[in-house]
Amino acid sequence: MTTTWNDKPREECAVMGVHNHPNAANFVYLGLYSLQHRGQESSGIVTNDKGTFYKHVDMGLVADVYSKTSDMERLIGNIAIGHNRYSTTGKVKKVNAQPFVVSSKYGPMAIAHNGNLVNSQFLRRQLEDEGAIFQTTTDTEIVLHLIARSKKGKMIEKVIDSLDQIKGAFSLAIMTRKKLIGARDPRGFRPLCIGKKDGAYILASESCAFDILDAEYIREVEPGEVVVFDKDGMSTYRLTEKAENSGCVFEYIYFSRPDSRIFGEKVDKARRKLGKMLALEKPVDADRIIPVPDSSNTAALGYAQEADIRFEIGLIRNHYIGRTFIHPVQSMRDFNVRIKFNTVKGVLKNKRIVLIEDSIVRGTTLKHLVRMVRNAGAEEIHVRVSSPPILYPCYYGMDFPTKEELIASCMTIEKMRKYLEVDSLHYLSLDGLLNSVPQKNCSYCTACFSGEYPITPDHKAIKFQLEDGIVTD
């Protein structure tokens, strides 16, 4: 059995929250459905019915986790939070699936987290020294310990006190006995936005979750903002630290759905501009613009419009591929790619092709695709990538392979061109990237391209999850 792999960075999570709606769990369920692309390893919902919390969490896709009507019917209450998880390789465990729920002095509390903390190792050690015991290997559990131990008075003060202690990337939905709380770290690495339907407030990682609910988009939770939804409606607070915005630019390049708003701006528009800028920076004389479907479709349309070359569908993607499949014939060439993509020969034959790809991690999938396009009769193949080369690891929630596996950190562009066996290969420049994405509200984290980290990681943080000595199913 082989996992279908995807030669792309992995996002770690989707977050949802609903306050004060009789269909709270159902709304979270539908939102998680529309946010499936942000996390496919596990899904969970926790509801709050007058202080009693109901939890349903399991490994798998949303469609599998909530496959029975009875699964949903148990989730009563008018407040709910939910989470999809895309765990890092090798630590796929049910115990780590979120939302995470505990009982404390202040009653039950639940949390759902998108992002990655960089001082979790330090905080966990400190908490353990004070006698805390941990049941998961996630950094998220730390937040609940901090809240439970905070000496501050009101719940919202405890939450702010706790969030002031954690460093790194976090977009959170927290549910207490009476409140739904949303928060983003001071740099705003990960998105989180606010919607409204039938008078009820909704939190979601991307605005496409509001569309599936026919809900209204209100605004982004701001970096460093804590929003509280309770019987008095919405109120807003600030974390202590002030910092420059560092929104993850990869949300525009690849992660988010093109029909979403992220950091307050439309993804489709930004992604199209990346394609146009790429056409301006790295033009080529060719016959057809072909996207690697589906994530590069929008950038390819932008490139085609700017370059005035015909956009065509030359690669077909099989959407029935499950999460895993049996690899029956070990020797079959290009198998992992062939099971997912096929070429449309009539479109490619005897043509000079520009393949548009949004990003390259290992380069293995692309190499197979190029060979298939060549076999379909393409005369020339030019690869254009709508983002700069990925050279550095991300400590804020994206999952890349190690530096040794990042093709761009091991080869020059020319070497890569030869490895991929293409006629030309060009990336969008970092300046081109930054000039294409929305400027209004946001500056961006570009650490994976530039190595300039907005916040220095606790050195051991990266290896933290591998050091824990508990292995469960």
CB of 265 to a second copy, least distance (A): 10
CB of 372 to a second copy, least distance (A): 9
Cα–Cα nearest to 310, from 352, 371, 358, 372: 352
Give the residue with the Cβ less far from a second copy, 71 or 287.
Answer: 71
Active site residue 445: no
Give the residue with the Cβ less far from a second copy, 378 or 445.
Answer: 378
Beta strands in 185-293 (DSSP E): 193-197, 200-204, 216-220, 225-230, 233-238, 247-248, 261-262, 265-266, 288-291
Cα–Cα nearest to 383, from 356, 416, 419: 356
CB of 459 to a second copy, least distance (A): 20
Give the residue with the Cβ less far from a second copy, 157 or 468.
Answer: 468
Give the residue with the Cβ less far from a second copy, 148 or 430.
Answer: 148
Helix (H, G, I), strand (E, B) or coil at 440: coil
Give the residue with the Cβ less far from a second copy, 66 or 427.
Answer: 66
Residue linked to tokens 């008018």? 78
Give the residue with the Cβ less far from a second copy, 226 or 337.
Answer: 337
Residue linked to tokens 């699936």? 97
Residue linked to tokens 């949300």? 251
d(CA 317, CA 340): 6
Catalytic residue among 13, 193, 208, 442: 13
Q: What angle do CA 4, 289, 444 make, to 5 degrees?
A: 70
Helix (H, G, I), strand (E, B) or coil at 131: coil
CB of 445 to a second copy, least distance (A): 24
CA dihedral over 73, 77, 81, 87, signed as positive or negative: negative
Give the residue with the Cβ less far from a second copy, 2 or 240.
Answer: 2
d(CA 346, CA 443): 44
CB of 275 to a second copy, least distance (A): 12
User: Amino acid identity of 175?
Assistant: M
Taking the CB of residue 1, how many other CB atoms lie within 10 A of it?
Answer: 6
d(CA 171, CA 115): 6
CB of 319 to a second copy, least distance (A): 4
Give the residue with the Cβ less far from a second copy, 15 or 301.
Answer: 301
Answer for the pair 181, 174: CB distance below 8 angstroms, yes or no: yes
Give the residue with the Cβ less far from a second copy, 132 or 434.
Answer: 132
Residues 6+ apart with CB under 8 A from 65: 42, 43, 44, 56, 57, 58, 59, 71
Q: Strands 13-19 and 79-85: what pairing? A: antiparallel
Residues 6+ apart with CB under 8 A from 346: none
CB of 422 to a second copy, least distance (A): 20
Answer for the pair 188, 182: CB distance below 8 angstroms, yes or no: no
Answer for the pair 387, 331: CB distance below 8 angstroms, yes or no: no
Residues 6+ apart with CB under 8 A from 227: 181, 182, 183, 194, 203, 221, 234, 235, 236, 237
CB of 375 to a second copy, least distance (A): 9
d(CA 110, CA 81): 8
Mind telling me the catalytic residues? 13
